[in-house]
Amino acid sequence: MQFLHETLAGDAYSPQSGETPALHWQRSAPGVIEFTPKAACDKSVVISAGIHGNETAPVEIVAQLVQDLLSGERKLAVRLLVILGNLPALRSGERYLDVDMNRLFSGKHHNYEPCDETRRAALIETLVSAFYQAEPETQRVHFDLHTARKPSFHVRFGLMPHVDCGKYPAATIEWLRRVGLEALVINHAPAATFSYFSSQQCGADSCTLELGKALPFGENDLSQFVGIEQGMQALVSDEVTPDHSAEAMPLYKVSQELTKRSEAFRLNFAESVENFTAFERGELLAQDGDTEYRVQQEKEWLIFPNSGVRPGLRAGLMLTRSSLDEWIA
């Protein structure tokens, strides 16, 4: 069974379940496969990719992990749920078809007209909740793999969902460091992202991983992501993660959000600028009618500029530097 090939070919899949000498596997929906080791384990892991259909490098990494488990080449020592997210968009090579799926979680799909993305987000919420609830005493982990829309000064970085306690497990931070992330970003508020849903609603240790720039299938240089690939392998095998850490892993926190309130919204810089471009205090970032967005701190860094979003949505985030130690539990 070729998981990715079948998923890209259509919604039909066969067989629906099977086993190897070491594990059972089951497919409960298109683009979804669950693995259960025959030996006892104490961790439940969700690995997702393809929430945006044009972000193919993570999909290729995850698909290879699935094949390694099915073939017996990779040992399984955790409960594992693998999800490829936006299937119609993956098949067409588009970021999304109707609505950005990573703005639809925690029930936000109810705020939109029904479409493929809203239905898929609702299904994923149900599947993930049921997966974790089936073994409530296990540690819960979720990594949602993405690529950025544009080049980044930090090629590999993580986005930690907002948590009410303001602290993150030291083991999670250490894993992110060892897989070679070049930076971490702390989100400042609740969001409609998949990783916020799994963290807030399911109690998982979650992170969104941004891995390079979005490219079509077959055009990715996966050598950039050896640390991530080996980290995923170690995670599912419950082994020590090889150390691919960068010299430093700076931490940023969100300082302000550039919200597009109307179609008059304009960014005051070229949208081609790379993520983590720095701006100085007082610089004009964007205008929306009479509203101006300016740099408020001595220096702020930009990520995810996109003036093409719908009014009411985020058109960019500004960051300031922070100390990693402040955020570790």
In this prediction, residues 176-185 reach a mean pLDDT of 96
- Catalytic one of 34, 117, 210, 229: 210
Residue ranges of the annotated binding site are: 52, 55, 146
Check if CATH label 3.40.630.10 holds for domain 1-237.
Answer: yes
Check if CATH label 2.40.50.630 holds for domain 256-326.
Answer: yes
In this prediction, residues 150-160 reach a mean pLDDT of 92
Residue ranges of the annotated binding site for Zn(2+) are: 52, 55, 146
What number of other Cβ atoms are within 10 A of residue 239's Cβ?
12
Residue 71, pLDDT > 80, answer yes
pTM: 0.95
Fold equal for 1-237 and 256-326: no
* Residue ranges covered by each domain of the chain: 1-237, 256-326
Residue 94, pLDDT > 90, answer yes
- pLDDT, residue 279, reads 98
| Contact indicator for 146, 84 with CB cutoff of 8 Å | no
- pLDDT, residue 214, reads 78
| Catalytic residue check, 210 | yes
- pLDDT, residue 14, reads 82
pLDDT per residue as tens digits for the range 38-51: 999 999 999 999 99
Residue 324, pLDDT > 80, answer yes
pLDDT per residue as tens digits for the range 13-29: 888 999 999 999 999 99
